[in-house]
Homo-oligomer: A and B are copies of this chain.
Amino acid sequence: MQLTNLVAGLPASVPFVGPEAQERARGREFRARIGANESVFGPSPKALKAMQDAAAGCWMYADPENHDLRHSLATLHGTEPGNIVVGEGIDGLLGYLVRMIVEPGARVVTSLGAYPTFNFHVAGYGGELVTVPYRDDFEDLDALIAAARESGARLVYIANPDNPMGTFHSAETVEAAIARLPAGCLMVLDEAYIECAPERPCGIDTSNASVIRMRTFSKVHGMAGARVGYAIGHERLIGSFNKIRNHFGMCRISQVGALASLGDKAHLENVIARIEHARRRIAAIAASNGLCALPSAANFVAIDCGRDGTFARKVLEGLIARDVFVRMPFVAPQDRCIRVSAGTDSDLDIFERVLPEALGEASDVSG
């Protein structure tokens, strides 16, 4: 076999190690799974029933045009179905998008320490990543746009609300950034957590071909394992996905579940309320340990451990040793934090109990 030069030169590293791999290595299950920003509150009961009912029909391929789901999403967002492409989670759609836009040597702008899976795709297609530091734990939109202009970038990635910090820019601020994009540069706006934000954009303008928005059923819809994401944008860009996407790539059961979940607004509102409760409780737990939680617009909270990345990693390791799965930012200065997903009260009871031990141990070791 002969790999392409590009693929031969890629590292074997993976963006994330899953909690199951950690459990296998530890020989013990986690008691609280609050590390991957999954929705512990689960899928809508309507989605659950729809998926259970659909399972027997999984002998059939799913509709490759994703007709029903796209039409429902178009109604929800006030767009046309041609403005929406459904894919195998935002991760899958980011892969397609990068493939469409990035060729070897093309520049791509992102914040330093933002989403590793996006960076994985950029590297995978030979793009050159241009990184911009966070500013006060926010993605620095002005600096990102400036870097896009200076580097002649084809693509700039912004997550709003941000992951891993949970910070949020208003729709007005984001629109102003879009208006300042240099010609020929596309903004991919990862809005995976937008339903948790204090302000949800109402109505989406798809006339601007310079921006594409990514949404998902993995977060507040509680269906991460079902792998349903979608992108909203100009019909020309959206239509281009058809040139390359895996047309029969969607799980039939998952699509049926997503459609049903859209119809259960009460569940979504309930989940959002429980996320808000969990955010408050995580902040209170942090405060009672003398730590500061960053204000979050997402389904997780970054807790500033008050020292450097080495210290935060020790805290993280202490939590994992006590069977609490959490993650942390990869890059300084954000890596002074640990990132805790909104858990059930039972999850957070465990977190509350073990955090002081993990902190104490980390302080002892660090001296």
Contact = CB atoms under 8 A, between A and B. Distances in A.
A340 to B, nearest CB: 16
A187 to B, nearest CB: 10
Given A239-B12, A246-B91, A248-B91, A225 B103 contact: no
A95 B21 CA distance: 26
How many identical chains are in the complex? Answer: 2
Interface stretch (A34-42, A290-298, A301-309): A34-42
Given A1-B209, A5-B103, A103-B5, A222 B59 contact: yes
29 contacts: A1-B186, A1-B237, A2-B154, A2-B186, A4-B100, A4-B106, A7-B243, A10-B243, A11-B243, A12-B239, A14-B242, A15-B247, A21-B67, A33-B60, A38-B59, A39-B59, A43-B58, A51-B55, A52-B52, A58-B223, A58-B225, A59-B223, A59-B224, A61-B224, A88-B88, A91-B246, A91-B248, A92-B246, A225-B252
Interface of A: 1-7, 10-12, 14-18, 20-21, 24, 33, 36, 38-43, 48, 51-52, 55-65, 67, 88-89, 91-92, 95, 99-103, 106, 117, 124, 154, 184, 186, 209-210, 218, 222-227, 234, 236-237, 239-240, 242-244, 246-254, 257
